Structure 1
Amino acid sequence: MARKDSSGPVIDIGIDDKQRKAIAEGLSRLLADSYTLYLKTHNYHWNVTGPMFNTLHLMFEAQYTELALAVDLIAERIRALGVYAPGSYAAFAKLSSIEESEKVPNATDMIADLVKGQEAVVRTARKIYPLASKADDEATADLLTQRIQLHEKTAWMLRSLLE
């Protein structure tokens, strides 16, 4: 049964406290991965050069814009579960499976790096899905399904540029 804890009032949404917190922890990792990928994509948007500049500049802009919306949805789902969402670079660095990029690679390496980032987000989302499914947390499962589908498609589109 839901009970009051240090994070606030009773939360009784049909998901027990332990499952709710485990799902929120997984979503926090997804948020960190998504935010790190957002930052990396935005960096590459600013710094891409070469013959594919216009194409990549616009593609990266569309991708980081989508990620900016996604991080808000993920953070709001964490809050709906009654847990505070991480929101600092330090927290994201601890939680993310995606390494920051401190260099400015060439355009081809940017694309390859973003493929890896998109795939990392998919793997993180897949790890959370069984928790949401077991808890009958349809809202989180739906969010995860949408994120998986979008990141798989984006990875495919980026990968196609490398062929």
Structure 2
Amino acid sequence: MAKAAKLDNKTAKMSDKGLPIDIGISDKDRSTVATELSKMLADSYTLYLMTHNFHWNVTGPLFNTLHQMFMTQYTEEWQALDLIAERIRALGHYAPGTYAQYAELSSITEPASVPSAEEMIQLLVKGNEAVAKTARAAFKKADGVDDQPTADLLTQRLDIHEKNAWMLRSLLQ
């Protein structure tokens, strides 16, 4: 609960100078959705960084397979970050953009050292599932206020992260 109060400050509404935003979603509802999207951005950035780190540092018999798979995933994740941040801005709020903000907002815990290839896969499964859970929670808020563009963005992210989790999990069987 205390974390939610901090989020309101982190996703502070842009200045009321200039034209007000009138897109059919109230200020309060836009703020709620922007807060949820900020969590999504933080989880997505944390997962991106972890995936890129693992791409650089993976070793073992599956090196080439994992190196390529991780590159495909982190490249897609990188491109999605901009879409999420731009949606927060379209709702009239600033997007979080610092490591400190991401650390506070993210539900993903990064490893302290370089894990084994199998542990990397397990961590990325959990990371993709965490992003999917965050997207699902944000979707409920967006859908509840008839924010179709955000709901559409989150549906696409859910599809990608659930698919990534499945593909990574398949390597562990």
TM-score range for the pair, normalised by the shorter chain length: over 0.9
From 101, 105, 111, give the equivalent of 1:91.
101
**Retained in 1: the 8 A contact 2:14–2:93?**
no
**Alignment of 1:61 onto 2:64:** no
Question: Structure 1: which 5+ residue stretches go unaligned?
Answer: none
**TM-score normalised per structure 2:** 0.90
1:127 corresponds to: 137
Distance 1:41 1:7 in 2: 36
Distance 1:141 1:83 in 2: 17
Give how far 1:7 is off: 2.5
Runs of 4+ with >3 A deviation:
none
Distance 2:73 2:104 in 1: 24
Distance 1:31 1:7 in 2: 22
From 41, 45, 51, give the equivalent of 2:61.
51
**Alignment of 1:148 onto 2:158:** yes
Cα gap change, 1:131 to 1:42, in 2 (>3 Å): same
1:26 corresponds to: 36
Q: Aligned-pair RMSD on alpha carbons?
A: 0.9
| Counterpart residue identity of residue 130, structure 2 | A
**Retained in 2: the 8 A contact 1:7–1:83?**
no
Distance 1:115 1:50 in 2: 19
Question: Structure 2: which 5+ residue stretches go unaligned?
Answer: 1-12
| Counterpart residue identity of residue 58, structure 2 | V
From 156, 167, 172, give the equivalent of 1:162.
172
| Counterpart residue identity of residue 52, structure 2 | H
**TM-score normalised per structure 1:** 0.95
Give how far 1:6 is off: 5.3
- Percent identical: 65
SS of equivalent to 1:86? coil
1:103 corresponds to: 113
SS of equivalent to 1:108? helix
| Counterpart residue identity of residue 148, structure 2 | E
SS of equivalent to 2:108? coil
**Retained in 2: the 8 A contact 1:26–1:128?**
yes
